[in-house]
Structure 1
Amino acid sequence: MPWNPSEIPDQSGRVAVITGANSGIGFKAARHLAAKGATVIMACRNLEKARAARARLPADANVRIVELDLGSQASVKKAAEEILAEYPRLDLLLNNAGIMWLEEGRTEDGFERQFGINHLGHFTLTALLLPALRDVVGSRIVTVSSIAHRAGRIHFDNIHLDGQYGRQRAYAQAKLANLMFAVELDRRLQRAGAQTRSLACHPGIASTNLAGPGIAEETPLGIGRVVRWLWPLMTQSAEKGAWPTLYAATAPQAEGGHYYGPARLKEAVGPPREARPRRYAMDPEKGQRLWALSESLTGQHFP
């Protein structure tokens, strides 16, 4: 039988950090984990939206909200400090938040914003939270990639795409980086003899607000409005889009270094199963090169 969230084991006593937990896949994951007894830390940029999301969860759910702007390395560091001060032991880190298909722009640290938010923000957050995870039996780090990674490559000599920017090119590069990071992290965790494992997943084509409220205004000729109208007709729900994340985070059979996504229509929809990453993403030499570049850009080194 296909996997579904009813198979999530009891999460009582476990602590899960979820980025972007106020909407879409992150919110659905938070709801399921909290329902199974986990303490959920909703790490979100917009506190007002996070509080509104919290109000939609059961009142007795054990939920904490932490402000996190992945576009600011300073905010990432502050959020990590706040989390570790209250929770020195973590069981799950779901690197879920992201942006998609936006006009060219930079983060406050000068990074191309899709790469800076989707990858570098999570790179730093993971490094800072890893001491609370690495010796915890059964702990996992799950990073959300995308089927769009298949169209990407890492522009090592022009990572911010100066003079080469395109919305899809930048997004594909960022989501490829998410997958490469998850795989390379697991290689390093295994070599270090750590207890935690790193996994990757993707939601297929899910109807979420990942592109952000400004997509209709930020796409030429207002095409974003057309995309938003058609999107629900072409996709599966955010609920089902969250299943690969939940599978990677909780299923006993999910393995470190592996990649999970929907089972049907070339991984667009359906229940979760092991997905097929692009060969480029699994290349150890490229993974090491991306790791070194990420350390150089952020100044953050893993323990």
Structure 2
Amino acid sequence: MSVLPFQIGRRVVVTGATSGLGLELSRAFAALGADVALAVRNPAKGAEAAERIRRTGVSGTVAVAELDLSDLASVRAFADRSPGCEVLVNNAGVMGVPQQRSADGYELQLATNHLGHFALTNLLLTRITDRVVTVGSASHRTGQLVVDDLSFERRDYHPYAAYCQSKLAQLSFMGELGRRLRDAASPVRSLGAHPGYTATGIQSGTGNPLFTRVAAIGNALVGMPPSKGARSILEAALLDLPSGSYLGPSGPGELLGAPAPARLAPQAESRELARLLWERSEELTAVSFPLG
């Protein structure tokens, strides 16, 4: 694995930083000297996470900022308060939850995983100096992106199908963001990574007891610890890689192993679908690309 460069004097924003990958990413950035903003829905849990990181003896600073990605008013408030950053890591997410609506009336997984990050990125973009990293999932390859029915208003709702669609939307966004940045002659890069099969708490938040039990067994038997699962994301955030790079574990099925280039589904690489999704996302969030 590559040696990660020190980040002294650089600011990194990590969404969903109270546990699992987000907590480990934040600790790793701070250990390299970065000033890390934990962008979290629950400030009390965020404060606990920040203290846990500080107790490890990191050289960088850790601060907490409230951000509920499922509520566009919260996203705007966070962006209004933010001084900007070198690196934005769009990590927060929910998986496989029963059908619910966000504060703005959208399907919750779409709202949290994609629309919130879409709005956050564009609202911060003029204050980001290096890159945006989108945390994807190998599950995106089974997703179907239906741009005119993103919130399952006409389709039957299936929790995992909605999750896969939201992760596919994120990676479609990653590619389109990179193209728009290039066309605007911006030095900012758009990259992505996924953690493979990493043992985190996201699998226990679905509300499905059977899935939770099966996931707990899988986590215990084969899941990578967050310190290993975070590695592909850290490399995407810190190494000198071209815009559009997408990393994941190198083992069979991209489930386990050291970071390597990962495979994107054809839908995630469709420029026409990405354009349509971007336009629809602008409509749903009332946020537009601010450059060019």
Fold shared by both chains (TM-score > 0.5): yes
Query: Contact 2:12–2:86 (CA<8 Å) still a contact in 1?
Result: yes
SS of structure 2 residue aligned to 1:81? helix
User: Deviation of residue 232 (structure 1)?
Assistant: 2.2
Query: Contact 1:102–1:211 (CA<8 Å) still a contact in 2?
Result: no
Uncovered stretches (5+) of structure 2, i.e. residues with no partner? none
Alignment-mate amino acid for residue 102 of structure 1? V
Structural RMSD (CA): 1.3
- In structure 2, the residue matched to 1:151 is 142
Query: Contact 2:32–2:60 (CA<8 Å) still a contact in 1?
Result: no
- In structure 2, the residue matched to 1:236 is 224
User: Deviation of residue 222 (structure 1)?
Assistant: 4.0
- In structure 2, the residue matched to 1:27 is 23
Q: Which stretches of structure 1, 4 residues or more, deviate above 3 A after TM superposition?
A: none
- In structure 2, the residue matched to 1:203 is 195
Once the two structures are overlaid, the 10-residue window that deviates more, 237-246 or 53-62, is 53-62
For the residues of structure 1 that align with 2:72 and 2:53, how far apart are their CA atoms? 29
For the residues of structure 1 that align with 2:260 and 2:242, how far apart are their CA atoms? 11
User: Deviation of residue 148 (structure 1)?
Assistant: 0.2
Once the two structures are overlaid, the 10-residue window that deviates more, 229-238 or 41-50, is 229-238
Are 2:97 and 1:105 aligned? no
For the residues of structure 2 that align with 1:64 and 1:223, how far apart are their CA atoms? 34
Are 2:237 and 1:249 aligned? yes
Q: Deviations over 1:104-152 (max 9, x none)?
A: 111010000001100000000001110101xx3xx01000010000001
Uncovered stretches (5+) of structure 1, i.e. residues with no partner? none
Query: Which of 128, 131, 135 is the matching residue for 1:140?
Result: 131
TM-score (norm 2): 0.94
User: Deviation of residue 79 (structure 1)?
Assistant: 0.9
For the residues of structure 2 that align with 1:243 and 1:224, how far apart are their CA atoms? 25
Once the two structures are overlaid, the 10-residue window that deviates more, 258-267 or 181-190, is 258-267
- In structure 2, the residue matched to 1:227 is 215
For the residues of structure 2 that align with 1:63 and 1:17, how far apart are their CA atoms? 10
Once the two structures are overlaid, the 10-residue window that deviates more, 256-265 or 118-127, is 256-265
- In structure 1, the residue matched to 2:152 is 161
- In structure 1, the residue matched to 2:114 is 119
SS of structure 2 residue aligned to 1:21? coil
Query: Contact 2:203–2:215 (CA<8 Å) still a contact in 1?
Result: no
Identity %: 40
For the residues of structure 2 that align with 1:190 and 1:232, how far apart are their CA atoms? 43
Q: Deviations over 1:171-205 (max 9, x none)?
A: 10000001010111000000100011000111111
Query: Which of 154, 171, 183 is the matching residue for 1:191?
Result: 183
